[in-house]
Structure 1
Amino acid sequence: MKSATPIAMTAALLVASPAMAEQYYGFMDLSINYLDWTDKAEDRTNPDKGGRGGAKEDFFYIELEGGAGFDWGDVYGFVDLENPTNSNDGQFSDEAFATDGFRIAAKGTFAYNLGSSNWNLYGHIYSFTESSSGFFDQNVVIGISYDLFTDFGLWFKPFLGGHYEQQSFAGSGWNGGMAGWVLGYDFNIGQQKFSITNWHETEFARDDQFRGNGTQYRLNSVGWNGALAIWWQLPNNLTAGFQYRYADHKLGTAAYHDALIYSLRYNF
């Protein structure tokens, strides 16, 4: 039930908002993705080698993503089904914490314009659940954001806010703050259209309550993660993508770790 919150919130915003205000843009896409952890990441989480977090294993996932912009602000959301063809025999079964277990990750964001300025009231909720162990982690951020658009194809949206977390093993409470951004740059090479995008999040002043990761190591008070991607717009509403996924003292791993993601999207 925990994962339903951002899914329901995002769906409600995307469906209801066009009826309330003038819409400037909107998009939705469905993609299939394969995440390939680097050898370094796998070694650092291998219990027989680094053991600095839960073991990492390559996986594929299906993602439904959408967003829209209105005269009052914008919304965005996604739902990822990781290892969608796999299942387990029940919570806390022998398959608990299996690296190939079925997982759901979902996120919803909003930015509400503050007057006629480029500043916004910002909020997002991220939820992750793992079926075999019953593990869940929810992160809520409330703060401010800023919109920067240029005439040459670059856009940049930084944010800063307080961070409230609820986790199955650590409990719930305020967990410092979070700062980050999303940015993109659209360009052409000949007749071909490309985009470069980057999302990034830095957690800071973390509470000791949330710094354990089930090993002898502890997460630092500061941790960050994100992805840098290049996208190629193909015919027939398709987009091919290549992403570099990175994290440091995040995702349950008390070390730097990274992966490559290969993506193919269909744009509705």
Structure 2
Amino acid sequence: MKNVKTLTLIAAAVAAMTTGTVQAEQYYGFANVSVNYLDWSGGTVDRSTAEGGQKADFVYLEVEGGAGYDWGDVYGFIDFENPTKGDWGYDAGEDAAEAFRIAAKGSVAVNIGETNWNYYGHLYSISDSSGFYEQNIVLGVSYDINTDFGLWVKPFLGAHYVHNNFIGAGFNGGMAGWVLGYNFKLGGQDFMITNWNEIEFARADEYRGFCTADTCAGPGDAGWVETNGDSTGLNGAVALWWNATSKFTLGLQYRYADNKLGTPAYQNAAIFSAKYNF
């Protein structure tokens, strides 16, 4: 029930992102829906583990939006992965290509006075048709960097908390990262490069893996099975977007992760996207 409530709150936040706020000046706003196909590399599929979930290519639908105000900015998305698949009796041991998943994220940055610093927080939640769910909360600060030549960067740093149905809930070290974008023209066409990147550090042993033997006390002991690997993890994507028209955008993304997503190894994929902009 908690997971359903979380997704409902994020959905409400996304729906409100392009709506004016009382007594707040809006600087920008956007919203779109997209269809996407994620194609894992062959090496990634080979390296993914049964314990963490065998990787499989999938289609997902996304609703995304964001807005900037004089007090700060908000952003969010909801993904429906394998939207035509999954059933109430799905077993996590079955083919991962048959799992239905919902992933959602909401973030907010509130200006600290007249500076470029912000109070920052984000919530990411994922669940699938086998009953697995995980929620990640990051609370900290971010900084706004804007240029006159089309580049903007928002680095952030915060404390990281995780709620996972297998291990429970608790403090999971910290997270640092950034989101950035660069708008440019080429051949008279509008393009944009974006990158989001998250680096987890000082992660809890419980999040790194699990013990299968009574004598196992943690990483390095006999019976220890790694699912997320080291105490640090990497997660992100870099993308090239072509704004063919004001309403239609095509994108090619390079998705990457290391010691993350249930696999204690490097992972990469290509994502092909088509967006309709409202």
TM-score of the alignment, normalized to the shorter chain, above 0.5? yes
Q: CA separation in 2, counterparts of 1:59 and 1:32?
A: 11
Quote how far apart the aligned CAs of 1:89 are: 3.3
Q: CA separation in 1, counterparts of 2:78 and 2:210?
A: 25
Q: 1:59 maps to what in 2?
A: 58
Q: CA separation in 1, counterparts of 2:92 and 2:53?
A: 14
Q: Does the residue aligned with 2:166 lie in a helix, a strand or coil? A: coil
What root-mean-square deviation, in Å, do the aligned CA atoms of Structure 1 and Structure 2 show?
Answer: 1.9
Q: CA separation in 2, counterparts of 1:106 and 1:112?
A: 21
1:213-239 C-alpha deviation (Å, 9 max, x unpaired): 698335100001100000000126100
Count of equivalent residues:
261
Residues 1:216 and 2:225 aligned together: yes
1:88-144 C-alpha deviation (Å, 9 max, x unpaired): 133xx446554121000000000000000000000000000011x200000000000
Aligned residue type for 1:153: G
Aligned residue type for 2:39: D
Summarize the Cα distance change of 1:138–1:121 in structure 2 as closer, same or farther, 3 Å threshold: same
* Identity across matched positions, percent: 56
CA contact (8 A) 1:88 1:95 kept: no
CA contact (8 A) 2:109 2:118 kept: yes
Which stretches of structure 1, 4 residues or more, deviate above 4 A after TM superposition? 93-97
Residues 1:266 and 2:265 aligned together: no
Residues 1:168 and 2:165 aligned together: yes
Matched ranges for 1:4-153 at <5 A: 4-9=5-10, 11-12=12-13, 14=17, 18-45=21-48, 53-90=52-89, 93-94=90-91, 98-100=95-97, 101-131=99-129, 133-153=130-150
Quote how far apart the aligned CAs of 1:11 are: 2.2
Q: CA separation in 2, counterparts of 1:124 and 1:34?
A: 25
CA contact (8 A) 1:26 1:69 kept: yes
Aligned residue type for 1:11: A
Q: Does the residue aligned with 2:24 lie in a helix, a strand or coil? A: coil
Quote how far apart the aligned CAs of 1:45 are: 1.5
Residues 1:205 and 2:206 aligned together: no
Residues 1:233 and 2:228 aligned together: no
Aligned residue type for 1:266: Y
Aligned residue type for 1:82: E
Aligned residue type for 1:74: D
Aligned residue type for 1:176: G
Unaligned runs of 5+ in 1: none
Q: Which moved more, 1:102-111 or 1:227-236?
A: 227-236
Q: 2:221 maps to what in 1?
A: none
Q: Does the residue aligned with 1:209 lie in a helix, a strand or coil? A: helix
Quote how far apart the aligned CAs of 1:66 are: 0.1
